[in-house]
Chains A and B, each alone.
Chain A
Amino acid sequence: MSLITTPNLADPDAAYAALLAAHKGLPEAESTALNARLVLILMNHLGDGPVFAEALRLAREAG
């Protein structure tokens, strides 16, 4: 299985809103910490395959 880079969300606006809602009211440092925890949780969920490495590469190239 490789990284899905085509649209994969039935309701992208709702998913995006959920992400913003999780950060709502947080000062910047806490928001950054939340993102770090989120990355770790998702990294574990993805497991050992190539998907996480591909996601890292895309994130790095897009910046």
Chain B
Amino acid sequence: MAYDYRPFAYVAPPGLTAPEPRHRVVIIGAGPIGLALAIDLAQYGVGSVVLDDNDVVSVGSRAICWSKRSLEVLDRLGVGAKCVDKGVIWKLGRTLHREEEVWTFDLQPDPGHKMPAFVNLQQYYVEEYLVARALEFPGLIDLRWKNKVTGLVQGDGVSLTVETPDGAYQLEAEHLVACDGARSDIRGMLGLDFDGELFEERFLIADIEMTGDFPSERRFWFEPPFHAGQSALLHKQPDHIYRIDLQLGWDADPEAERQPERVIPRIEKAVGHRDFRLDWVSVYTFQCRRLARFVHGPVIFCGDSAHVVSPFGARGGNGGLQDVDALGWRLAHVAQGGDAGVLNAYDRERQHGADENLLNSSRTTRFMSPAAGAERLFRDAVLVLAGKAAFARPLVNSGRLSRPCVYPLAGPDDPALPVEARPGAVAPDAPLADGWLIDRLGRRPVLLALGQPAPEGTGAERLELALTQELQARYLGGAKQALYLVRPDQIIAARWVTARPEAITEALTAIWSDRT
């Protein structure tokens, strides 16, 4: 069933008739990243104006694989259950070379997590749910469709010129967050450019609708019989929509390749029949690049406007939501009068995250689309060996799927505690008698006390839980007790086996500063 694209209503903004008061935050781009940020800020009580030059959700599926961490973030924003209910849950990834299966991965984490490893859900649904959620904050989120920024002047804040169907107006804000995607106009207006690699490879990307009984798994082919010498990816999405990515080679003409008479025969070969409807087609070029810095005075870059990766690790949309996760609570703090230095920590942490995503994407691209010579030689050797010897299978790289990075935090740590829950990592989820641990963390700093009472008077909200098998394994390991300080973004800031209240207060203060 084709998605019903319903335009959002443009409303003439107040700035057309009278000067508007200076806003705290203006967000450019009502895609998943801009909308998620607006909701995150609203949940902290901070209002924002969201400007989008269009009036409709994403055309085409675009970002489709949402990771467990993204689902946890979306859940905190109020749309997690909707995404999981609608999405296709999958955990198996099969990789084939010609007709032979060479490598299969199972993403199922240990049981005992609220969210699944991945769901496939078209970006337009995620945006639809986020728009509906944003509308639940009428006093805080001011969504303006068909509002395009055409001028930007920076001072201690920003002054914008915004074009609408009714003419132009001026907008002033303390902070601007550019969530306007890979081709960010804001980036251009600041004269900034990406550093990094552009790969000489093109992929055709298509959504097709077909009724068939394809299993809920990711399937990737190197040199498939239906697409000689290239590679292909097939993903199942809701509504009988399937996503197909076909490697085209660098010589391909993007305009010619996206024509239905060229696309349909290729897909027919891939799925083995003609019983499908073409829903959406695009052609893209691989890039692995980022801005040198994401914070430029009052202007902050978030999501694809800050960094772009090749798509096979699901690191675009998921990486962007992790940006939101690291930014929202800090920007809310600054908007409410806190020290703006805390935004440097966002910059530093997300550069680290982007570098990890870029490294993984570059490696995948190099395997998937090797340069002639040694790259090609070893790639082919790995694929040939993978069919015969187990050791070669983990070398097969058809995408290393997005996992949250562990920030290099210098907070107090005790090596007696499990490495997975070290400072900088997302607090692992665990089932509780009456729900999930992840729902008890986030939005404010929490001091989680296990096996001992939480010290009073530290300034952190205390959470004392009875030990369960999962809490013991994920947070204590061999230890009998521990204290964990968890940030508003559910990242572990510090941990101790025992701690004096002053040490906890000091770690709590560091959360709100540039020191992490």
Q: Is the CB of B385 within 8 A of A41?
A: yes
| Cross-chain contact of A36 among B381, B389, B391 (Cβ < 8 A) | B381
Task: Decide: B389 and A41 in contact? CB cutoff 8 A.
Answer: yes
Complexed CA–CA distance, A58 and B239 (Å): 57
Shortest CB distance A60–B (Å):
12
| A40 with B380: CB separation less than 8 A | no
Instruction: List residues of chain A with CB within 8 A of the CB of B385.
Output: 37, 40-41
B378 touches A40 (CB 8 A): yes
Contacts of A33 in B (CB 8 A): 377, 380-381, 384
Interface residue range, chain B? 10 to 19
Nearest-neighbor residue (CB-CB) of A29 within chain B = B377
Chain B interface secondary structure, helix, strand, loop or mixed? helix
In contact, B381 and A37 (Cβ under 8 angstroms): yes
Count of chain A residues near B, Cβ 8 A: 8
How many angstroms from the CA of A36 to the CA of B378 in the assembled complex?
A: 6
Q: Interface centre among A36, A39, A44, by most B CB within 10 Å? A: A36
Q: Is B503 an interface residue (CB 8 A)?
A: no
Asked if residues B377 and A40 are in contact (CB atoms below 8 Å), the reply is no
Interface residues of B (CB under 8 A from A): 377-378, 380-382, 384-385, 389, 391-392, 395
Q: What residues on B are CB-neighbors of A39 within 8 Å? A: 378, 381
With A37-B384, A40-B385, A41-B385 given, is the CB distance from A32 to B392 under 8 Å?
Answer: no
Q: Nearest chain B CB to A42's CB is how many angstroms away? A: 11
B377, B380, B384, B389 interface centre (most CB from chain A within 10 Å): B377
How far in angstroms is the closest Cβ of chain A from B223? 15
B-contact bits for A24-63, CB 8 A (1 contact / 0 none): 0000000011001101110010000000000000000000
A37 to B395, CA, bound (A): 12
Name 24 A/B residue pairs within 8 A (Cβ), A-sorted.
A32-B377, A33-B377, A33-B380, A33-B381, A33-B384, A36-B377, A36-B378, A36-B380, A36-B381, A37-B381, A37-B384, A39-B378, A39-B381, A40-B378, A40-B381, A40-B382, A40-B385, A40-B392, A40-B395, A41-B385, A41-B389, A41-B391, A44-B391, A44-B392
Q: CA A41 – CA B380 in complex, angstroms? A: 14
A44–B388 alpha-carbon span in the complex (Å) = 14
Q: Give A40 to B392 CA distance when docked, in angstroms.
A: 8
Complex CA distance for A40 and B389, rounded to whole angstroms = 11
Note all chain A residues with C-beta closer than 8 A to B377.
32-33, 36
Shortest CB-to-CB span from A47 to chain B, Å, is: 10
Determine the distance from Cα of A28 to Cα of B5 in the docked complex, in whole angstroms: 57
Q: Which residues of B contact A32 (CB under 8 A)?
A: 377
| A52 → B minimal CB distance (Å) | 14
* Complex Cα–Cα for A41 and B378 (A): 11
Nearest B residue to A38 by beta-carbon distance?
Answer: B381
